[in-house]
Structure 1
């Protein structure tokens, strides 16, 4: 039997990681992060403990890899939304919000998992620091695009860190309400209005 080529091993490893991450998301959502075990994740993915530990040192590391992948997907989706505005045209803060919010997914399964892991991280200073740094990195990656949109309507951002934190707070807080009442259009309307107020309050210019 021929030895595996250099290209096959990374692909096989990537597939193993993908299946473990997808299985872990389902296990975490069903059992809760604190009650989930490596064995449950392996059973759901169809792998042994050896396969798990050849890819991840712990469930904490697996979750952080999961979060990194979700973050990359979020950033890619928002970049696409921002680029789309170049063809459509943006004239007001409301226009910016109407392009921004639909590009941010509201996933009940992911929210349950991430909320539980956040609670877990609050008990562990090292994890807390890692999550804070990664959240800052996400905001940092997106702010240039958002600043570009605001600049097109004559608005500047004096403090991009403050704006990023405020928008994250709006998203996290209103997402819970949207998930609780998914068929209530007034909640989504208030979510959009709050995002508009935040963008206006944390930027400077004439047009709103």
Structure 2
């Protein structure tokens, strides 16, 4: 993709996030996005066919950025200390520290999810992208668990449980941002999921 077109695309994506967050996805228009980005409708339609496609591209970009950060956090946790073993609590805390709890992004994704539920083709697209994200995250989680002396017992259930805990606790943290106990419970719940869907490699393993 030529540099100028890539720059236009990035500006449209950034402008769209602002517009979606302020106006709500369902009330946003192509014209509002173009006005915020400083482009014409022609520039928009040279890059995207619709606001739906733009959102999915936005989601793909943010997901890729998050996955890189998670991979770096897992590698950092595995590099700590002199032992080959990983402390599961430390690894989980590192990973959660790089997963953003973002008010604007949560609002936009929640609204788009409701929109997608009314359109079968978007519902399928979102489910496929969720599965693609899990396919990248799960090997990282399995690697960290293996270094902590544990093996996954139900891979599919673990992936779905991690997504459910992330979505649910994100809402709780955003609703009560000053509650440190709510934020702490987020980490505890992730650890519960990791332990409940894995088992020690030996009876003496307590991590």
What TM-score do the two structures reach when normalised by structure 1? Answer: 0.93
- Summarize deviations over 1:105-164 as a string: whole Å, max 9, x none: 111111111110000001111100100010110011011111111001110112222111
Partner of 1:129: 124
**Structure-1 separation of matches of 2:134 and 2:78:** 21
Cα RMSD over matched residues?
Answer: 1.2
Specify the SS of the correspondent of 2:2. Answer: helix
Could you say which residue in structure 2 is the equivalent of 1:50? 42
Measure, in 2, the Cα distance between the counterparts of 1:14 and 1:123. Answer: 31
Report whether the alignment pairs 1:105 with 2:100: yes
Conserved? CA contact 1:93–1:200, under 8 Å: no
Please give the residue correspondences for 1:34-113 in structure 2 after superposition, counting only pairs within 5 Å. Answer: 34-89=26-81, 91-113=86-108
Superposed CA offset, 1:9-39 (max 9, x none): 7101100000000000000001000000000
Aligned to 1:4: none
Alpha-carbon displacement from aligned partner over 1:41-99 (angstroms, at most 9, x marks no partner): 00000000000001000000000000000000110110110110122155443223212
Q: Could you tell me how far apart the structure 1 residues matched to 2:50 and 2:153 are?
A: 41
1:139-178 mapped onto 2 (5 Å cutoff): 139-178=134-173
CA distance in 1, matches of 2:155, 2:58: 26
Counterparts of 1:184-199 in structure 2, within 5 Å, are: 184-199=179-194
- Where does the alignment leave 5 or more consecutive residues of structure 1 unmatched? 1-8
Say whether the 8 Å CA contact 1:153–1:207 is kept in structure 2: no
Q: Give the TM-score normalised by the residue count of structure 2.
A: 0.93
